[in-house]
């Protein structure tokens, strides 16, 4: 056996390399400090000195770049995901974003990859999960949501030194195909049919805010009278109505055996509204004259409802309320929209498609892009992409462009209306 090599003395901040009695090369690499302030060293061993030095260099590089794993109990993917979603993400993202994260963690990520150690997770583990999800019936968009959640969660783990790499950032998510059926905005004739039916209904102005100005559902239901200036004919958008979330209020000794939303003693656990987070979302929107008239009439009707209801009225400053006051539920609002379409004899579409209609009408009216961006609440960095998504060119406009192009290149066709106009001018 080769003569044992003694340990080389090193300073406190230097790596110690030595040949041990077990016939292997050892190293103790300074990696930082423990929570109690004591120095933390990683002990590694290899049968070959060169292999050991290569590993020492790798660890020292991680340490110097701030990417080294911190001392303490190693995280599993399951443990980290639940810690991240409940103790880190929950306090810094919106309720809707948190709900999406929580579902992805609980339903897909923890059951699929939760048993792995976070520092040993590979992109292939995630890609295999995405394939299994789709094989079991999940849509590509659902797998993509799980991927985005994992990428955000593991990115935080890397920043905190619990893993050296973000496996989700390296993994290839499934491709999300664009919907084959193009969204078709409502025509002016269809909007007019809706207007006739809207005027017969309570909260009629609510639907015209969507069709004429493209307000999102949350923006409309979160609108308060303090934000509406009827004298100067504009409104300010500052907050969004959130979907209610409930917990059981019944006692454990006598559970109602229903879903929380249908519990007789249910408790609301989510705030009603949240402030609009983006600067573009906080905006002033002009009100057309007829819509100002609808809102004035709506305010008078609401005052009569309040007086009739008396003590039963739930006081609030919301523009659109239930018959006895209080904010409208987004779910109730959605079903009211579907009934409106049916009663008006207009084709079925999502409530959000009314936003496409408003954006297209603004384009047809020749409104400058910058003004459209403000009315729709689009960020400057994404406005061109959003216009491409929301502005739809009608077939009639395409036909008109084709006719003008034909005249410019080939000249007016014989006996065309343009020829006749020129003859008349002559």
The full set of domain ranges for the chain reads: 16-64, 77-170, 396-425
pLDDT of residue 258: 82
Q: What's the rounded Cα separation, in Å, for the pair 113 and 128? A: 10
Predicted local distance difference test score (pLDDT) of residue 272: 77
Number of alpha carbons in the 13 Å side-chain half-sphere of residue 194? 28
Structure pTM?
0.62
Three-state DSSP at 229 gives strand
Cα 347 to Cα 176: distance, rounded to the nearest angstrom: 27
From residue 55, alpha-carbon distances to 119, 136, 185, 303 in Å are 16, 41, 61, 76
Across the chain, what does the average pLDDT equal? 83
Highest mean pLDDT of the ranges 67-81, 127-141, 191-205: 127-141
Alpha helices in 91-184 (DSSP H): 95-103, 110-113, 123-135, 140-159, 167-170
Mean pLDDT of 38-51: 88
> If you ran DSSP here, which 8-state letter would residue 200 be given?
T
Rounded distance, CA 379 to CA 371, Å?
12
Average pLDDT in the 244-248 region?
Answer: 79
Cα–Cα distance, 323 to 244 (Å, whole number): 18
Looking at residue 69, its pLDDT comes to 63
pLDDT of residue 220: 92
Asked which of 100-114, 152-166, 245-259, 337-351 is least confident by mean pLDDT, the reply is: 245-259
Name the CATH architecture for the domain at 77-170. Answer: Orthogonal Bundle (1.10)
């Amino acid at each position: 056996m080769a003569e044992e090599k003694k340990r080389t003395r090193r300073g406190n901040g230097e790596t110690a390399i030595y040949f041990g009695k077990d016939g292997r090369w050892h190293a103790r690499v300074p990696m930082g400090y423990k929570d109690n302030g004591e120095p933390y060293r990683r002990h590694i061993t290899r049968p070959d000195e060169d292999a050991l030095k290569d590993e020492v260099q790798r660890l020292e590089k991680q340490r110097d770049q701030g990417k080294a794993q911190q001392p303490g109990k190693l995280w599993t993917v399951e443990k980290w995901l639940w810690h991240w979603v409940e103790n880190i993400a929950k306090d810094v993202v919106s309720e809707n974003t948190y709900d999406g994260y929580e579902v992805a963690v609980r339903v897909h990520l923890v059951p699929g990859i939760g048993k792995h150690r976070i520092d040993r997770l590979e992109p292939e583990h995630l890609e295999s999960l995405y394939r299994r999800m789709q094989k079991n019936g999940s849509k590509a968009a659902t797998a993509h949501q799980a991927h985005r959640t994992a990428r955000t969660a593991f990115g935080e783990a890397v920043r905190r030194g619990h893993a050296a790499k973000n496996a989700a950032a390296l993994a290839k998510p499934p491709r999300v195909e664009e919907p084959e059926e193009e969204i078709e905005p409502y025509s002016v004739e269809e909007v007019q049919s809706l207007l006739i039916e809207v005027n017969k209904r309570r909260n009629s102005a609510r639907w015209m805010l969507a069709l004429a100005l493209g307000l999102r559902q949350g923006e409309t239901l979160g609108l308060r009278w303090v934000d509406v200036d009827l004298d100067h004919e504009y409104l300010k958008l500052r907050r969004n109505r959130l979907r209610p979330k409930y917990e059981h209020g019944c006692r454990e000794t006598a559970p109602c055996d229903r879903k929380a939303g249908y519990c007789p003693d249910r408790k609301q656990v989510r705030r009603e509204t949240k402030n609009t987070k983006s600067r573009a979302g906080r905006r002033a929107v002009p009100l057309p004259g007829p819509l100002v008239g609808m809102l004035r009439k709506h305010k008078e009707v609401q005052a009569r409802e309040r007086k009739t209801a008396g003590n039963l009225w739930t006081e609030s400053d919301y523009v659109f309320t239930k018959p006895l006051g209080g904010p409208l539920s987004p779910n109730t609002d959605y079903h009211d929209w579907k009934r409106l379409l049916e009663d008006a004899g207009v084709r079925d579409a999502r409530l959000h498609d009314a936003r496409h209609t408003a954006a297209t009408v603004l384009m047809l009216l020749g409104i400058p892009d910058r003004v459209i961006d403000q009315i729709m609440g689009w960020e400057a960095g994404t406005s061109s992409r959003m216009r491409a998504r929301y502005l739809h060119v009608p077939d009639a406009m395409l036909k008109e462009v084709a006719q003008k192009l034909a005249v410019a290149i080939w000249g007016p066709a014989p006996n065309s209306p343009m020829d006749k106009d020129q003859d008349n001018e002559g």
